[in-house]
Amino acid sequence: MNATPNPTAQLKFRDPVLGRELGEKLNSVVAEIGRAPVSVMHVCGSHEQAIARFGLRSTFPKDLDVVMGPGCPVCITDVPEVDEGVALALQGVRVCTYGDMLRVPGTVKSLADVRGDGAQIEVVYGIDQAVALARQTTEEVVFFATGFETTAVATAAALLAGVPKNFSVLSAHKYIPPVMEIVAEMPGSRIEGFLAAGHAAVITGSGVFEEFVKSHRIPVVVAGFEPLDILAALVKLVELVRDGTPEVVNMFPRCVSREGNRVAQEQLWKVFSPMGGRWRGIAHVPNGNLRLKEEWSAFDARRRFTIDVSRLWDYAPPKLLGQCLCGEIMSGSRGPKDCPLFGKECVPENPVGACMVSTEGTCRIWHQYGGHLDLRGVS
Ligand code: SF4
């Protein structure tokens, strides 16, 4: 067996000739729709990253508006959830979480702030590392679990595999399908179609969007993350908009099936229940939060500890947070350039809002790529 990677195969989803053809097709389908703007939303920071990294936005037709929705898991972790992690750390519990979460502002403090004050905050790449850490100590270790169904499955699998008694989970996991309903139903929403995140659909399957399409009559196309994946999925999406045919189309069949990964789904729903809860800056999302089921209460940090957030009120809140537009940006009604703090008071080194913290946050991505994602007219 030849184990040498084939560079040609690696690049086949970045073929510039095919990319140009798809770009032309996209232009012609949007022109056939004959009105402006045609607005579609992707719900994934990795899509925005790929669009920015490969300069795709500058190839989009000027009458096509591709907006990023609430697809950054760090950005939508709600302020009170960050406060809970901060309060636990201040209570002397060792808190483990992903590196992106550290600088997400809470009401008055971030995890990075309290780490600077001496709290024990550990950055981990995943729950397994946090479990390993708990095995090496008798101290209480809490994994502050964030992210969508993709990372929630990992959390569920770790709990099912068995964790030490001094380990628990503070779940801020979110479930994507319900928030699409909220965005679609927002007053004045102009979203005509959704690009769904391929990695989440690997788990849930493309079939999870069928009810949404039926009830909202808005098409959903599942897309991968290479430039040609995104362009091909956009072409399909605007074709569905043009033809007025709301359907679910899977344009990532090399990874996604209609049923998804049944084993992963089973693990997910053995451990978590969907619950209503707030997504930062957006809204209360019915069934949008994933919380540990009653039978896992021994490992649920919310039940194991009395989380006393009152200690946080000794600190003054950050002055500029009230001006942050992350909520409007994540629901697709505003863009980073609408925020007066963008690139001035709010920069990646000194973020005011959560969208400037994570590498999957819209403001951070726009800032990283120069703040001019649409290069038309920029000299
Ligand atoms: Fe919030 Fe900063 Fe983005 Fe403005 S630039 S919306 S303050 S994250």
353 CB within 6 A, ligand 1: yes
Which ligand 1 atom is nearest residue 334's CA?
A: 6
Residues 235 and 326 in one domain: no
For residue 7, being part of any structural domain is answered with no
Residues 100 and 210 in one domain: yes
241 CB within 6 A, ligand 1: no
DSSP state of 162: -
330 CB within 6 A, ligand 1: no
339 CB within 6 A, ligand 1: yes
Query: How many CB atoms sit inside 10 A of residue 152's CB?
Result: 25
CA distance 122 to 96: 5
Name the pLDDT band for 379 (thresholds 50, 70, 90).
very low
The predicted-structure confidence for 112-168, as pLDDT tens digits, reads as follows 999 999 999 999 999 999 999 999 999 999 999 999 999 999 999 999 999 999 999
Name the pLDDT band for 370 (thresholds 50, 70, 90).
confident
CA distance 239 to 243: 6
CA distance 109 to 82: 9
Distance 274 CA to ligand 1 centre (A): 29
Residues 339 and 266 in one domain: no
72 CB within 6 A, ligand 1: no
CA distance 12 to 224: 13
What is the rounded average pLDDT for all residues in the chain?
Answer: 92
For residue 129, being part of any structural domain is answered with yes
Residues 260 and 239 in one domain: yes
Which residues form the domain of 183? 36-316
363 CB within 6 A, ligand 1: yes
**Could you tell me if 150 and 264 are in contact, meaning their C-beta atoms sit under 8 angstroms apart?**
no
The predicted-structure confidence for 161-196, as pLDDT tens digits, reads as follows 999 999 999 999 999 999 999 999 998 888 999 999
CA distance 188 to 240: 21
Alpha carbon nearest to ligand 1 atom 8, residue: 353
326 CB within 6 A, ligand 1: yes
Beta-carbon contacts of 330 under 8 Å, excluding residues fewer than 6 positions away, are 68, 69, 70, 71, 72, 75, 76, 279, 280, 281, 282, 355, 362
Residues 352 and 268 in one domain: no
The domain total for the chain is 2
pLDDT at 1: 44
Place of tokens 């960050």: 82
Crossing angle of the two packed helices 149-161 and 127-135, in degrees rounded to 10: 30
pLDDT at 372: 53
DSSP state of 191: -
CA distance 211 to 163: 36
* Most informative mutation of 79, 319, 355, 359 for ligand 1 (most atoms within 8 A of CB): 355
Residues 312 and 323 in one domain: no
pLDDT at 8: 60
Distance 374 CA to ligand 1 centre (A): 19
For residue 4, being part of any structural domain is answered with no
**Could you tell me if 135 and 164 are in contact, meaning their C-beta atoms sit under 8 angstroms apart?**
yes
> Which region holds residue 162: left if phi is over 0, alpha if psi is between -120 and 50, else beta?
left
Place of tokens 């591709």: 66
**Could you tell me if 280 and 361 are in contact, meaning their C-beta atoms sit under 8 angstroms apart?**
no
Domain boundary among 273, 293, 316: 316
Query: How many CB atoms sit inside 10 A of residue 257's CB?
Result: 15
Domain boundary among 290, 316, 342: 316
Query: pLDDT: is 267 or 357 the higher one?
Result: 267
356 CB within 6 A, ligand 1: yes
pLDDT at 333: 87
For residue 154, give both structure tokens: 């990992």
The predicted-structure confidence for 288-325, as pLDDT tens digits, reads as follows 999 999 999 999 999 999 999 888 887 777 777 778 99
Q: Mean per-residue pLDDT for 346-356? A: 90
**Could you tell me if 155 and 124 are in contact, meaning their C-beta atoms sit under 8 angstroms apart?**
no
Distance 324 CA to ligand 1 centre (A): 5
336 CB within 6 A, ligand 1: yes
The pTM assigned to this predicted structure is 0.89
